[in-house]
Amino acid sequence: MVEKNINSLSLWFFQHLLQHREIRHFVSTRNGGFSNPPYDSLNLAFHAGDNPEIVLKNRKRLASASGIPLDTFTIAQQIHGCNVKIVTKELRGCGAFNYDTAISATDAMITDTPDICLLVLQADCVPLLFFDVKKRVIGVAHAGWRGTVSLVAHNTVRVLQEKFHCSSQDILVGIGPSIGPCCYEIGHETIVQIKKAFHNEKDHVNSETPDGKGYFNLWEANRTQLVQMGIPERNIEVARICTRCNHTVFFSYRNQHTETGRFGAGVMLMYS
């Protein structure tokens, strides 16, 4: 990824997605906003307990820096599941100004409609951005351990293929900043779920300890799902930025051990 300072706001970009003028995208940080601790400062989430007026002010700041209008922001009520919602123009702007209008119970969204910014929010969970360069379809997914184990990334590619006739060869994916294998300690129960979900779980859980703990590699567990769906490795850019190690730049739930804000990863198709 590459960091750019735009109107004095730091935004991060996937290098392969930057090559395509048909889309705009970004990954925001925790800096440059108006929220007080523990949401300091660019918290984008209404559901985390922050003052909604300040959240709106933060979103306006992001919209003006990214050049993506706030009324295009389309956000879901994320539930750590594997549902994929197809976003039509009637859903444009759902969740932009409050939580109640956000699309219910989904962690992945896809659209081929321009002028809709699909946005996922997280603090340690993995944001994934998708773009089919030929069919001009975009997608986002939010994958914590539950979403990863329930194969939300896999499902997103499946819907791209089945509903939008995308070819895996044409799909670019960015795997954004999220808690890394250096920091994501998990317990025995979670390891059992991972073993159920993946045949090659040894690639995803590092250094299992005698007391049954281990470190989960969310990046690899999501990347593998994409490769298994036929997406070429060269099409997948993994940020390899750990949010806990970089908790001064990104929100990290694990670092704060309490309430925290959420940063965003968004993508929008432009009118051609």
Least Å distance, CB 245 to Zn ion, is 3
- Cβ closest to Zn ion, residue 131 vs residue 250: 250
- Cβ closest to Zn ion, residue 75 vs residue 175: 175
- Cβ closest to Zn ion, residue 174 vs residue 181: 181
Least Å distance, CB 204 to Zn ion, is 16
For residues 213 and 93, give the distance between their C-alpha atoms in angstroms, rounded to a whole number: 42
For residues 227 and 236, give the distance between their C-alpha atoms in angstroms, rounded to a whole number: 9
DSSP string over 200-228: TGGGTEE---TTS-EEE-HHHHHHHHHHH
Instruction: Determine the residue type at 128.
Output: L
Binding site for Zn ion (CB under 5 A): 180, 182-183, 242, 244-245
Residue spans of alpha helices (H) in 139-272: 145-149, 152-164, 188-197, 218-228, 253-256
- Cβ closest to Zn ion, residue 121 vs residue 242: 242
- Cβ closest to Zn ion, residue 66 vs residue 190: 190
Least Å distance, CB 182 to Zn ion, is 4
Residue 34: which H helix or E strand, with range? none
Least Å distance, CB 241 to Zn ion, is 9
Strands 117-122 and 263-269: antiparallel
- Cβ closest to Zn ion, residue 154 vs residue 244: 244
Least Å distance, CB 215 to Zn ion, is 9
Least Å distance, CB 1 to Zn ion, is 16
Instruction: Please name the residues in contact with 232: beta carbons below 8 A apart, sequence gap of 6 or more.
Output: 168, 169
For residues 185 and 39, give the distance between their C-alpha atoms in angstroms, rounded to a whole number: 23
Instruction: Please name the residues in contact with 97: beta carbons below 8 A apart, sequence gap of 6 or more.
Output: 56, 70
